[in-house]
Amino acid sequence: MIPLRDTTKSGSFPFVNSAFIAINIAVFIYEIWITGDQRLFMYRFGLVPAIVTTELEIGITNRIYPFITSMFLHAGWMHIIGNMIFLFIFGDNIENRMGHIRYLFFYILTGICAAIIQFLINTKSVIPIVGASGAISGVLGAYLVFFPRSRILTVVPILFFFRLIHLPATVFIFVWFLIQFLGGINSAGSAGDVGGVAFWAHIGGFAAGLVLAQYFDKEKSYRQKSFNGYYKN
């Protein structure tokens, strides 16, 4: 399934979401530009569990920053295009609902949570974990909390044809999560040092988004302040 747009309109310009998209694209262009050093770049800034858990003296900073930098790297054109489509469609609504600063921290935090979950699946893996999809999965979790009645215009493959269908957000996200869950279960029995989709990062990011969304909700904060002010008077 490929989302094309949603029916929920953002009430403000998504400065932070646009910045995230721009940074991801800029980093990817840089990855292409450095060509021969791309593999080294991935191992330097991607999250490599075996490096994080190594007994070598590499410093605490080198063990921590990949949990953040890895979410701005991508392994290929289809990888970044797919991620940016999802971020463009769903991220603006979440930023509008949370506010710019809250959304900034929410995105980074859910991305870190996603990376931690994938890291814990195989702490000795030598394959770099890269991609924004963990954080974007957090955005989808928040979207399900805030906009369950929204509808998503989706390209759905049916046999050898493609159809445009408006799916309820709950259906679209449920199917998306089911694919991640089944993929995660299937990958659990595979070799830990074989590259592929980081399904558990998606699951972890989505779960983090579901839980954290209410704590980053700008409207809930405003309602709470209004109630407190009324009660005290």
226 as an active site residue: the answer is: no
Residues 6+ apart with CB under 8 A from 61: none
- Rounded CA separation 155/1 (Å): 6
Q: Any bridge partners for residue 157, and if so which?
A: 162
Query: Hey, which bits of the chain come out as E strands?
Result: 2-6, 151-158, 161-168
Q: Which of 70, 125, 133, 187 is catalytic?
A: 133
Q: Which of 70, 74, 187, 202 is catalytic?
A: 202
Report yes or no: 28 and 80 within 8 Å, Cβ to Cβ: yes
For residue 47, which of 141, 138, 136, 111 has the smallest C-alpha distance? 111
79 as an active site residue: the answer is: no
Report yes or no: 200 and 117 within 8 Å, Cβ to Cβ: yes
* CA gyration radius, the chain: 19
- Rounded CA separation 128/130 (Å): 6
Q: Which residues are catalytic?
A: 133, 202
